[in-house]
Amino acid sequence: MAALRFILGDQLTRDIPTLRGLDAEADTVLMVEVAQETTYVPHHKQKIAFILSAMRHFADGLRAEGIAVDYVRLDDPANTGSFTGELLRAVRRHLPDAVVIAEPGEYRVLEMIEGWRRGLNLPVHLLPDDRFFCTTVDFARWAEGLDAYRMETFYRAMRERTGLLMRDGAPSGGRWNFDTENRRPWPAGMRPPERLRFPPDAATREVLALVERRFPKHFGTLAGFGWGVSRADALAALDHFVADCLPHFGATQDAMVAGAAFLHHATVSPYLNAGLLTAREVCAAAIASFEAGTAPLAAVEGFVRQILGWREFVRGVYWLRMPDYADSNALGAGRALPALYWTGETEMNCLRQAIADTAAQAYAHHINRLMVTGNFALLAGIRPAEIEEWYLSVYADAYDWVELPNVHGMAIFADGGLMASKPYAAGGAYIDRMSDYCRGCRYSPKVRSGPGACPFTLLYWAFLIRHAETLAGNPRLAMPYQTLAGWDGARKAATLAEAEAFLDALPTGYA
> What secondary structure does DSSP assign to 199-218, as a single string?
---HHHHHHHHHHHHH-TTS
Q: How far apart are CA 318 and CA 299, in angstroms?
A: 28
Question: What b/e sequence results for 315-343 when a residue is b if at least 16 CB atoms lie within 10 Å of its CB, and e otherwise?
Answer: bbbbbbbbeebbeebbbebebebbbbbbe
For residue range 220-230, what is the model confidence (pLDDT) as tens digits? 999 999 999 99
pLDDT of 181: 79
The residues that bridge with 6 in the sheet, in sequence order, are 30, 101
Pairing outcome for strands 166-167 and 170-171? antiparallel
Count, in order, helices (H) and strands (E) of the chain. 24, 7
> What secondary structure does DSSP assign to 225-282, as a single string?
-----SHHHHHHHHHHIIIIIHHHHHHHTT-BBTTBS-TT----HHHHHHTSS-HHHH
For residue range 245-301, what is the model confidence (pLDDT) as tens digits? 999 998 999 999 999 999 999 999 999 999 999 999 999 999 999 999 999 999 999
Low-confidence ranges of the chain (pLDDT < 50): none
CATH of the domain at 354: 1.10.579.10
Give, to the nearest 10 degrees, the angle between helix 151-162 and helix 312-321: 110
Q: Among candidates 129, 374, 373, which has minimal Cα distance to 273?
A: 129
Same domain, 56 and 195: no
Same domain, 192 and 155: yes
Please check whether residue 493 lies inside any domain of the structure: yes
Domain count, the chain: 3
Q: How far apart are CA 330 and CA 336, in angstroms?
A: 17
Please check whether residue 204 lies inside any domain of the structure: no
Same domain, 118 and 140: no
Please check whether residue 100 lies inside any domain of the structure: yes
Q: How far apart are CA 370 and CA 254, in angstroms?
A: 10
Please check whether residue 169 lies inside any domain of the structure: yes
Of the residues 127, 160, 182, which one is the last residue of a structural domain?
127
Please check whether residue 66 lies inside any domain of the structure: yes
Cβ(291)–Cβ(243) under 8 Å?
A: no
pLDDT of 179: 84
CATH of the domain at 87: 3.40.50.620
Cβ(49)–Cβ(225) under 8 Å?
A: yes
Same domain, 303 and 352: no
Please check whether residue 449 lies inside any domain of the structure: yes
Cβ(221)–Cβ(342) under 8 Å?
A: no
Q: How far apart are CA 49 and CA 46, in angstroms?
A: 5
pLDDT of 56: 98
CATH of the domain at 192: 1.25.40.80
Q: How far apart are CA 8 and CA 31, in angstroms?
A: 7
For residue range 382-403, what is the model confidence (pLDDT) as tens digits? 999 999 999 999 999 999 999 9
Q: How far apart are CA 193 and CA 450, in angstroms?
A: 40
Sheet with strand 69-72: strands edge to edge: 69-72, 28-32, 3-6, 98-102, 124-127
Instruction: Count the alpha carbons within 13 Å of 236 in the hemisphere toward its beta carbon.
Output: 11
- Total residues belonging to the chain: 511
Same domain, 281 and 180: yes
Question: What b/e sequence results for 271-284 when a residue is b if at least 16 CB atoms lie within 10 Å of its CB, and e otherwise?
Answer: bbbbbbbbbeebbe
Please check whether residue 364 lies inside any domain of the structure: yes
Give the number of other CB atoms < 10 A from CB of residue 72. 18
pLDDT of 451: 86
Cβ(104)–Cβ(126) under 8 Å?
A: no
Same domain, 263 and 347: no
Of the residues 288, 321, 354, which one is the last residue of a structural domain?
321
The residues that bridge with 143 in the sheet, in sequence order, are none
Same domain, 111 and 144: no
Same domain, 315 and 429: no
Cis peptide before 200 (omega within 30 of 0): no
Mean pLDDT (the chain, rounded)? 96
Same domain, 372 and 483: yes
In angstroms and rounded to an integer, the radius of gyration of the C-alpha atoms of the chain is: 23
Range of the domain at 239: 136-199+221-321
Helix (H, G, I), strand (E, B) or coil at 31: strand
Q: How far apart are CA 313 and CA 335, in angstroms?
A: 29
Model-level pTM?
0.96
Q: How far apart are CA 21 and CA 487, in angstroms?
A: 69
Same domain, 76 and 111: yes
Same domain, 169 and 40: no
Same domain, 169 and 310: yes
Of the residues 321, 354, 377, which one is the last residue of a structural domain?
321
pLDDT of 511: 62
Please check whether residue 215 lies inside any domain of the structure: no
Cβ(454)–Cβ(502) under 8 Å?
A: no
Distance (Å) of CA 15 to CA 19, 22, 25, 275, 366: 7, 11, 19, 10, 29
* DSSP label of 159: H
Q: How far apart are CA 407 and CA 374, in angstroms?
A: 7
